[in-house]
Amino acid sequence: MTQATVAVLLAGGLARRMGGGDKPLQNLAGRPLLDHVAARIRPQVHAMALNANGDPARFAGWTDPVVPDTVGGNPGPLAGVLAGMRWARRVHPKWPDLLSVPTDTPFLPHDLVARLASARARDDAPVAVAASGGQLHHTIALWSTALRDDLRRALVDEDCRAVHRFAERYSVAPVVWPQTPVDPFFNANTLDDLGEAERLAGL
């Protein structure tokens, strides 16, 4: 069910562990990773954007906006979260929350936004973070866009690049999912991971 939020799909990284290039355009089960992630998220949100740097023409088949980092130097996924927040506040100001997810996580749960939003409301927390297997996945989170100025200061003035370090400045509501039959937050960082994702996709 669509929630009162928007999403940014994070594809601004350099994909060094996969040999460079565009990780979200790598194929899984005959479709780009990006398609798998979008198919999981699109039904859950009001609107969606892709955070990616460089020539957006390589995503020519992508129908949602492509928003680049607003902070230079490829500082990592936090810059993508900031770009998503700024896009959300500019284009969809009545939706106060932003979901962030990486584009290498093809098995995201269908109740991701609903459960993160419920946890944020329950704990009155500005951030809700997905978890599985005893690990918090800080790039898979629901953020209050009111944090955007704090986030820009952290990136620009403090060179804070670790998502968990920024998130943990605030009250964080964790939401745990089971790892069976597949960890919904499995991420394909390497070509070996991509091969494992092919196997998991067949389960």
Q: What is the pLDDT of residues 99-142, one digit of tens each?
A: 999 999 999 999 999 999 999 999 999 999 999 999 999 999 99
Look at residue 22 in the predicted model and tell me its pLDDT. 81
Look at residue 125 in the predicted model and tell me its pLDDT. 97
Are residues 130 and 175 in contact, defined by beta-carbon separation less than 8 angstroms? yes
Q: What is the CA radius of gyration of the chain?
A: 16
Look at residue 152 in the predicted model and tell me its pLDDT. 97
172-176, strands of its sheet edge to edge: 66-67, 47-51, 6-10, 97-102, 135-144, 127-132, 172-176
Give the model confidence (pLDDT) of 82-92 as tens digits: 999 999 999 99
Angle at 181 between CA 98 and CA 50, to 5 degrees: 25
Q: What is the pTM of this model?
A: 0.93
Return the domain boundaries, the chain: 6-201
Tokens 């269908």, residue?
110
Tokens of 195: 């091969």
pLDDT, mean over the chain: 91
Look at residue 104 in the predicted model and tell me its pLDDT. 94
Angle at 6 between CA 72 and CA 193, to 5 degrees: 65
Class of domain 6-201: alpha beta
Residues of the chain with pLDDT under 70: 1-2, 13-21, 203
Angle at 57 between CA 155 and CA 31, to 5 degrees: 95
Look at residue 1 in the predicted model and tell me its pLDDT. 57
Q: Quickly count helices (H) and strands (E) in the chain.
A: 6, 9
Look at residue 13 in the predicted model and tell me its pLDDT. 57
Are residues 107 and 184 in contact, defined by beta-carbon separation less than 8 angstroms? yes
Q: Name the percent of the chain lying above pLDDT 70.
A: 94
Look at residue 202 in the predicted model and tell me its pLDDT. 73
Q: Which string of b and e fits 188-199 if b means at least 16 CB within 10 Å?
A: bebeeebeebee
